[in-house]
Structure 1
């Protein structure tokens, strides 16, 4: 890491803050003993700046156009395709070369001297604050409510489905095949569960009609009924023997049975 390169990058005005952040990140990749060259990959710059790869590529293109970085023509990396850039300090101001002054202890070893610890470089007071992983190009947009706040999703309560009563396994006197056909008809009619109570009602109606359970179920299948009813059976078979309702007398009742010739002669005169 070269503090001189970082200090130079922080002092530059390159327009966008994201582009400047990218320049600082590249300066951080410069080794102190090199001629201000670095070869960070786009993926590395994306990770350290929090910008996506497209934003990094756009920033590198802008820095090249400004002349802040120069393609040396060299390529390095595992694939041999990573561009080697030189921080072009001559464009915005030359960075003073670091003097190769040998480091001596403040006191000689004879007096117990220790090697002086290198001082931490002092950066400008107005050092820009860079965003933490705030890419310019994002594929996700938070929902807007109109007042600048995010709208919390409303979680609807899950309605519990009512459990369907179990169907009976068979009906007394009805074969398995006949029972299966009957259940198919009921399913097509979207009938409810064939409970023991429903079976008892079917058997009672079959007894009213004078039929066995098997005959009643067969009739239901043929008539496409979901259950058996003695009244329906009688009407369908024309067996309804209930007496017809008596007719109410009208003002002309009995006129047809009267003898209008009584008391009248053959010539039309009254007797």
Structure 2
């Protein structure tokens, strides 16, 4: 088992990168590149620090729902991270580009839970029953690791490469949306920069949330009423290289726009 000293060292490296805005070396020289247990321990240290500093946990995110990305990192399952209140933005609310190190955007379906999912080995029925509504969302993924040079351990330790998220404002009930067949188009300045569908997310965004509910249940940290769950990308991620807006349109869910601004230009 990886020592606590090594876990703290990895956490400190990532925390320093976040605080200074200077990307760091991967942490796989401290923890094994495939050691997911150690990586989640690093993530837990960083999350505990943020909670102790007064940040509120508002939900969870699922990463690596694309089979292609899983193959790239040599894994066969998703990963997860924690969402904090300071990461949440409203539709079209400007986000300072300078808060991110190496941002990328991806369109997702966000689940908002109306009840806990605290049963052993949750099923699709349990997740459907617990879901109050779904929303169109844009996740801003970011990496504290220089050049996105990551293995599965690096991204898990780095809170699943989370940055921020933007939620749409048109809630829909699950029964009213075909999430598997839902098409997605992500646009920048009117140009299509990514497209996909719900089926690209582990076959169904619902299936992704079931995976998360089971993974968290095994850790004794079940999903709770009120949680926001970002269920995973519906299409390829897109780098953010300058201020501007990205608009995601999803069948049955409407649209949501992420806006990046350069506050230093004001």
> How high is the TM-score relative to the length of structure 1?
0.20
Quick check: which one's strand share is greater?
2
Q: Between Structure 1 and Structure 2, whose CA radius of gyration is higher?
A: 1
